[in-house]
Amino acid sequence: MADREQPVTLRTRKFIRNPLLGRKQMVVDVLHPSRPNVSKDELRQKLSELYKASKDTVSCFGFRTQYGGGKSTGFALIYDSQEAMKKFEPHYRLVRYGQATKIEKASRQQRKQRKNRAKTVRGTAKAKGAEKKKK
């Protein structure tokens, strides 16, 4: 955890206030000369302090470190309220921040196999996978 003590500078640009979606949106430049990169959790904390908002209403994503290191650029959204964030933020990002639970479903391949098995028994009562007709 010695990395967390190293200095990090945040600069925001292209700041836009978006009242329809109830948020502020901006491009964030992170200067971290003595670190490989900065965690999104730490960035959310620093942005919430900078804009006097709750950490739960800050969303950071799309960060890319420049070649050679020392600088990363990404996007940040600061919502006016928790309700606005839940309403407009994509579900996968809410799961990432611990504000929603992940929907568990079968893998893509299993879903396709189940679909194709169901196609073979079309017109009959569809069980898990009925036997094929014999000639």
How do residues 28-76 score in pLDDT, each as one tens digit? 999 998 888 889 999 999 999 999 999 899 999 999 999 988 899 999 9
**Residue 51 dihedral angles phi and psi, to the nearest 5°:** -105, 10
Q: Mean of the pLDDT values across residues 97-115?
A: 91
Count of residues making up the chain: 135
Q: Which DSSP helix (H) or strand (E) runs through 134?
A: none
What's the CA gap between 92 and 12, in Å, rounded? 25
pLDDT in the model for residue 97: 87
- Given a cut of 80, whether residue 27 has pLDDT beyond it is yes
What pLDDT does 135 receive? 62
Q: How confident is the model at residue 26 (pLDDT cuts 50, 70, 90)?
A: very high
- Coil, helix or strand for 72? strand
- Cβ of 77: how many Cβ atoms within 10 Å? 21
- What SS3 state is found at 32? coil
pTM check: above 0.85: no
Q: How far apart are CA 75 and CA 29, in angstroms?
A: 9
Name 27's bridge partners.
13, 75
